[in-house]
Amino acid sequence: VKDGSWTVLQLVEALGSCLENTDPRTRGRGIQLLSQVLLQCYSLLQEKEVLHLVLFYENRLQDHHLVIPSVLQGLRALSMCEVLSPGLAVSVLKAIFQEVHVQSLMQLDRHTVYSIITNFMGTREEELKGLGADFTFGFIQVMDGEKDPRNLLVAFQIVHDLITKNYALGPFVEELFEVTSCYFPIDFTPPPNDPHGIQREDLILSLRAVLASTPQFAEFLLPLLIEKMDSDLQSAKLDSLQTLTACCAIYGQKELQEFLPSLWSSLRREVFQTASEKVEAECLAALHGLSACLSRSVLSSDTEDLLDSFLGSILQDCRHHLCEPDMKLVWPSAKLLQAAAGASLRAYHRVTRSVLPLLLEQYTKHPQSSQRRTILEMLLGFLELQQKWGHVEEDESTLLSLRAPICSVVFSALTDPSVQLQLVGIRALIVLGSLQGFLSPSDLELVVDHLIRLALHEEDSQSSEAAMEAAGSLAPIYPKVFSGRMVPRLEEELQSEREEESSRDHCSLQQRCLQALAAVSIHTSIVRETVPVLLQHLRKVQKGNKARNAQDVVSVCQSLHRVALQCQQDAEGCWYYHQTVVPCLLAMAVPAGPPGRALLEEEVLAAMVPVISAATTHLSPELAAQSVSHVVPLFLDGEVSFLPQNSFPCSFQPFEDGECLEAQRRLVVLLMAFVCSLPRNVSWARTCPCNCPFTATTAAKCFAGLVNKHPAGQQLEQILQLAVNRMEPGLAEGPRRTQALTLLLWVTKALVLRYHPLSSRLTDKLLGLLGDVELGPAAADGFSPPMA
């Protein structure tokens, strides 16, 4: 049939004796063979052939039950034919509905029936819709009593398509609901080693999609959901609540009106009594869904505002719990109110008009910090809901009318001895600051003053750190206020020298100032104010030889590093930072003098490396190339003209030999930080020799970074060959074997990272060095870079 030497109708004639045999088993085998051929060749059939085959197979549906499975397989093949004549799909389905008792068939044969229906719904939708409600009724009969999960997944999808594609349900809405809802809630546990991979969750979601697909099911479904919410089984509760939430997305107030009191009663009871966080969360989600559904309803003069009455019931049942002395049901009540209020701006105004004044009153009445914290957390929950709608509308907002008492409560929390209450107050500050138009200019100044006090002078580190984070959140919203009020105060504290304070306290205060300056450096305009302050302080602390100076320099570098990271996504801020900070660091490091000076300590250089790296990583290729033209000549030629304050007592030649230049050689680590952070498409080629272990290691890392970033091609291969030619003699003998090994290790890592074929050769060379008396231990230890 496939190669055209036979037609299907010729095959039917050839099978005639089998197809007409009086033995049903023989007839079944003949039809089975024909159906198997059709399943492989249905796309080759002509329209007339399909017509004759459909009529033949429809007639065979009246045959012996042993024949039916093979007949259905043939019809499944024909249902996939594109040349099926109009009317044949309807004819086939009518024949199946009339002649086949589907639920008496085996699972596979029932699945075949569902497949036939699915195929026709996908290709002959308009024809099937011509059947009207008869098609829906026929399918109900097919599905009724189905138990196999494999078939149910297909059947649920068919029902979903019936509804969502607007097939006529006619008088059979309740019957269609009954034939599907009888499986709710799903109670299925897949057998061990189930080859089909069907999970309980698959069935739950598939059935939920059906039940929540039409408002026509509401009058039958909502009583069922209310009943299952009262079940002792947690899984049934969860399924019911999640289904209710899904239904709220398509229901209107007409569908919900009759059931709102019962739904609210069930939800309230579960939240007040449940010990399960899952059940509570789903109850709150369902309540949010109900409130959102009612909020969508269009009000007219002659209709009841169901949202208002529904929220009134919630307020009536929950509001008084906010005033109870033992505060036992405070949180459940607050959560219910917030879930309902968060559904829409209209719901939010309705709830907050009643609740916010009460919470403010309760805060004043309760003197204990723990109770105040609970009340402020509830207040914070309502404030956070307002963020969903952004700008505070003056004509509707309860918040604006309560601005003064709200700010008073929050500010009082910030001065409370309780750290936990302070932390909630700081969170509230962030929310108030994010509400556009809420805080007045005088309020903003108070906010900044409180944040400065908490960040610098609060004993508890939690409050101090939280205040800095809050400043970082609010600074981009109010850059002028923070630039004009906070930065000068921090600068003043950095410059002060209080004699009455101990050295430790002064260090701690300076450390906090540095952290706070970094925290607020989010907006470019603020960065332009804070970076000069940090650099000025760095110049101040780097003078001298004491260990404290080194630690102070490290602290400044840590703050500079944080600022660099925060600038990376803003091109203007990134370039300003780079061209301001990098030359300044180099200008301070270049003339630093003997190794004892603070800027040449290893811990200080290690702290400067990430600053330069972060300042360089996100530069555009054009700006990076501009920076290369200054930094590279500095290290290779001693060209210091681009540095601020560039009058140095001696020339800068870090790659030259000589004991007097040992201090300068340590600074090659800064070149490494710069070079290894450049964009890939920024290239330069300059070399010169060096004889210092520290510098050699740094240079090896630097060279490996260049190799890793260099574009593939002939130039890279030439560079690698040059490196290998220099390494191999150096490894063989001479005073620089250790330096050659270091270069080998880092180049190997660079090549492994880019999957370069030379990496295997260099790895073999490293393995060969394990037996070397002098280099073996170092080679073994050195395997960590290539393997990291």
What percent of the chain stands above pLDDT 90? 57
**Cis amide linkage into residue 417, ω under 30° from 0:** no
Tens-place pLDDT, residues 479-505: 999 999 999 999 998 888 655 455 666
Distance (Å, rounded) from C-alpha 562 to C-alpha 575?
Answer: 15
Candidates 223, 190, 183, 227; CA nearest to 205 is 183
Which stretch of 22-36, 183-197, 376-390, 730-744 has the lowest confidence by average pLDDT? 730-744
Residues 743 and 460: their CA atoms lie apart, in Å, by: 48
Q: Determine, yes or no, domain membership for 722.
A: yes
pLDDT for 506 equals: 64
Give the count of domains, the chain: 2
Please provide the size of the chain in residues: 788
Domain housing 589:
555-678
Residues 669 and 705 both lie in one domain = no
User: What pLDDT shows up at residue 185?
Assistant: 93
Q: Please report whether residue 671 resides in a domain.
A: yes
Q: What band does 705 get if pLDDT is binned at 50, 70 and 90?
A: confident
Label residue 300 by pLDDT band (50, 70, 90). low
User: Is residue 404 a part of any domain in this protein?
Assistant: no
Q: Does one domain contain both 566 and 672?
A: yes
Same domain membership, residue 652 and residue 727: no
Residue 695 scores a pLDDT above 60: yes
E strands in 3-115: none
| Residue 715 belongs to some domain of the structure | yes
Q: How confident is the model at residue 730 (pLDDT cuts 50, 70, 90)?
A: confident
Taking residues 427-438, report their average pLDDT. Answer: 92
Is residue 755 classed exposed, middle or buried when 0-12, 13-18 and 19+ CB atoms within 10 A define those classes?
exposed
Q: Is residue 510 part of a domain?
A: no
Q: Are 369 and 420 in contact (CB under 8 A)?
A: yes
In a domain, 392, yes or no: no
Same domain, 633 and 719: no
At 650, is the secondary structure helix, strand, or coil?
coil
Q: Are residues 765 and 741 in the same domain?
A: yes
**Strand ranges (E), 180-324:** none
| Position with higher pLDDT, 569 vs 153 | 153
pLDDT band at 742 (very low <50, low <70, confident <90, very high): confident
What average pLDDT score do residues 144-172 get? 96
Q: Is 580 exposed, middle or buried (0-12, 13-18, 19+ CB in 10 A)?
A: middle
pLDDT of residue 595: 46
Q: At 214, is the pLDDT very low, low, confident or very high (cuts 50, 70, 90)? A: very high
Report d(CA 5, CA 708) in Å as an integer: 63
Q: Write b or e for each residue in 593-620: b if 16 or more Cβ atoms lie within 10 A of its Cβ, otherwise e.
A: eeeebbbbbeebbebbbbbbbbbbbbbe
Same domain? For 574 and 632 the reply is yes
Per-residue tokens: 12:
């039917």
Q: What is the mean pLDDT of residues 713-721?
A: 80
Query: Lowest mean pLDDT: which of 21-35, 244-258, 435-449, 755-769?
Result: 755-769
Residue 75: its pLDDT value, please? 96
pLDDT tens-digit readout, 323-361:
876 777 899 999 999 999 999 999 999 999 999 999 999
656 and 703 fall within a common domain: no
Are residue 698 and residue 588 in the same domain, yes or no?
no
pLDDT at res. 462: 94
pLDDT digits (tens, 9 = 90+) for 511-559: 999 999 999 999 999 999 999 999 999 888 877 555 567 888 899 999 9
State pLDDT tens for residues 76-109.
999 999 999 999 999 999 999 999 999 999 999 9
Instruction: Tell me what the mean pLDDT of segment 27-52 comes to.
Output: 91
Q: What is the pLDDT of residue 302?
A: 62
pLDDT given at position 166: 95
Q: Which of 630, 652, 678 is the last residue of a domain?
A: 678
Q: Spell out a b/e string for 304-337, using b for 16 or more CB atoms within 10 Å of the CB, else e.
A: eebbeebbeebbebbeebbeeeebebbbbbbbbb
- 290 CB contacts (<8 Å, ≥6 apart)? 244, 248, 256, 260, 263, 264, 310, 340, 343
Same domain? For 653 and 759 the reply is: no
pTM above 0.85, yes or no: no
Same domain, 674 and 698: no
The amino acid that residue 109 corresponds to is D
Taking the CA atoms of 438, 444, 446 and 449 in sequence, report the sign of the dihedral they define: positive
**pLDDT at res. 596:** 43
Is residue 735 located within the same domain as residue 699?
Answer: yes
pLDDT, averaged across the chain: 87
Q: Does 653 reside within a domain?
A: yes
Percent of the chain surpassing pLDDT 70: 91
Task: Name the domain boundary from 626, 654, 678.
Answer: 678
Residue 605 and residue 673 in one domain? yes
Single out the residue in 629, 649, 678 at which a domain terminates: 678
The Cα–Cα gap between 743 and 745 comes to: 5
pLDDT computed for residue 770 by the predictor: 84
Report how far residue 59's alpha carbon sits from residue 67's, in angstroms, rounded to the nearest whole number.
Answer: 12
pLDDT score of 760 more than 80? yes
Q: Does some domain include residue 748?
A: yes
Q: 703 or 412: whose pLDDT is higher?
A: 412
